[in-house]
Amino acid sequence: MVASARAFVLRHGRLRPVPGLGGIRLHLADDALQVWHAAQVETGDPDAPIPYWAFAWAGGLALCRYLAEHPEAVAGRRVLDLASGSGLCAIAALEAGASSATAVDIDAHAAAAIGLNARANGRRLTVLRRDILDEDPPDVDVILAGDCWYEAALAGRVTSWLRRARDAGLDVLVGDPGRAYLPTKELVELAVYDVRTTTELDDLDRKEGRVFALARAGG
């Protein structure tokens, strides 16, 4: 599956620069529905996940812009990029000077894309392909969470897990374009960026992508 997932990403993604992010290049697709259908056929699974990995999402784009402007948020620190998709935020963290990056996603094609994208940008990172949301907070310094609040069940689990990570002393940075399930009351806004996603599943017009820190309990 690993080799075939890699071949799938190479067949359906074209390496190109990410809008607004200068140097970072990703294997990106143009037509989400076409790639989704191909994934259903290839895996024989009508419930194959949407190919999130094939696009740079607005939340992740905002987070990456923030890291480029504020490298001190991650420089010299161990970073985990939750729901990494293409690996974009993990790669941006390494570009900003993170000492290590771990990219986590449950999707086999995402795991393959993250590895290919890291290599295309001359970066080394660790890829974890599993659901860690019921596990203890990881042994890192900073967690990045880009565009995870688009679906109620996932949003609830992500928010609870991030709270636990924060309570364990980790810094949590969130990037989001105003998704329905974002827990805004618990977030401290750090920056707003005009971003343009690469997927027609979102509207392709410019969006406001916001970057937040998860506030300390009682703070």
Ligand X SMILES: C[S@@+](CC[C@H](N)C(=O)[O-])C[C@H]1O[C@@H](n2cnc3c(N)ncnc32)[C@H](O)[C@@H]1O
Closest-by-Cβ residue to ligand X is 60
Q: Is residue 28 within 8 Å of 131, Cβ to Cβ?
A: no
Q: Could you tell me the smallest distance in angstroms from the CB atom of residue 185 to ligand X?
A: 22
Q: Could you tell me the smallest distance in angstroms from the CB atom of residue 219 to ligand X?
A: 25
Q: Smaller CB distance to ligand X: residue 36 or 52?
A: 52
Token look-up 């989704």 returns 36
- Largest Cα span, the chain: 49
Q: Smaller CB distance to ligand X: residue 184 or 216?
A: 184
**Nearest by Cα to 140 from 74, 49, 83:** 74
What gap in Å lies between CA 86 and CA 131, rounded to an integer? 16
Token look-up 């056929």 returns 41
Q: Could you tell me the smallest distance in angstroms from the CB atom of residue 135 to ligand X?
A: 11
Q: Smaller CB distance to ligand X: residue 131 or 203?
A: 131
The site for ligand X (CB under 6 A) is made up of 49, 52-53, 56-57, 59-60, 83-86, 88-89, 104-107, 110, 131, 133, 146-147, 150, 154
**Nearest by Cα to 142 from 114, 104, 101:** 101
Q: Could you tell me the smallest distance in angstroms from the CB atom of residue 29 to ligand X?
A: 13
